[in-house]
A and B are shown apart, each in its own frame.
Chain A
């Protein structure tokens, strides 16, 4: 597609439920990033993929969070046993993979855990 696409745009879930957030990067971009943004703050790094592998997952807050990118394109961020503190906007970005290039962001998925 022309840009980074994230679905759903909004997700409301009950505490304790499992959720999946999807990211479709710009075609041809080998690098994919997940960030989380809380209200009034800058984005917070979660995980970075280069191709199919997670090159850096140091930002995942705990083992309830997991992300995959099985074919090196679409990625899914999975959150188990959601907690109210997981409520945030989850942003996905992609880039060409070179360190000196900018990342392009999707519109985000607003996750609300009630």
Chain B
């Protein structure tokens, strides 16, 4: 069975703080793909990043960075120097041997000015 767990239901920080969103996954597939999506209040899911199971290199894109560790089955997402515009619900998702995306429950991130 495949599963994605985002244990943090809601996180609230003050602007400019760093914040890490946790994602833990379960799969028996040897090849799989991990994703992060952002869902702002407008509702549209916005793709942020895709990671292949055979590539554990961490990635940085501006203020965003992702830490993929197969040993702990985690794919955590860090925002440095958070901004109010980062406020949204963030979803972690897994795609294994089929084409379905298995989603976590999401973490609601609130950035206070």
Contact = CB atoms under 8 A, between A and B. Distances in A.
Interface of A: 31, 33, 35, 40-45, 48, 50, 55-56, 59, 89, 91, 93, 99-108
The main secondary structure of chain B at its interface with chain A is: strand
A43 B47 contact: no
B98 to A, nearest CB: 6
21 contacts: A31-B99, A40-B105, A41-B105, A41-B106, A42-B93, A43-B45, A43-B101, A43-B103, A44-B103, A45-B102, A48-B100, A56-B99, A56-B100, A99-B95, A100-B33, A100-B50, A101-B50, A102-B35, A105-B45, A105-B46, A108-B44
Contacts of B105: 40-42
Nearest to A106: B44
Contact of A42 (B42, B100, B103): B103
Contacts of A101: 50
B96 to A, nearest CB: 9
B47 A107 contact: no
Interface centre among B4, B45, B46, B91 (most CB of A within 10 A): B45
Q: Please classify how large the interface on chain B is, using the bins under 10, 10 to 19, 20 to 34, 35 or more.
A: 20 to 34
Interface string B1-24: 000100000000000000000000
Contacts of A31: 99
Interface string B66-99: 0000000000000000000000000101010011
B43 A103 contact: no
B50 A108 contact: no
B100 A107 contact: no
Given A44-B103, A105-B47, 16 more contacts: A42-B91, A42-B93, A42-B103, A43-B91, A43-B103, A45-B102, A48-B99, A56-B98, A91-B45, A99-B95, A102-B47, A103-B47, A105-B44, A105-B46, A107-B43, A108-B43
B52 interface: yes
Contacts of B95: 99
Name the 3 nearest CB pairs between A and B, nearest first.
A42-B103, A105-B45, A45-B100
A7 B104 CA distance: 26
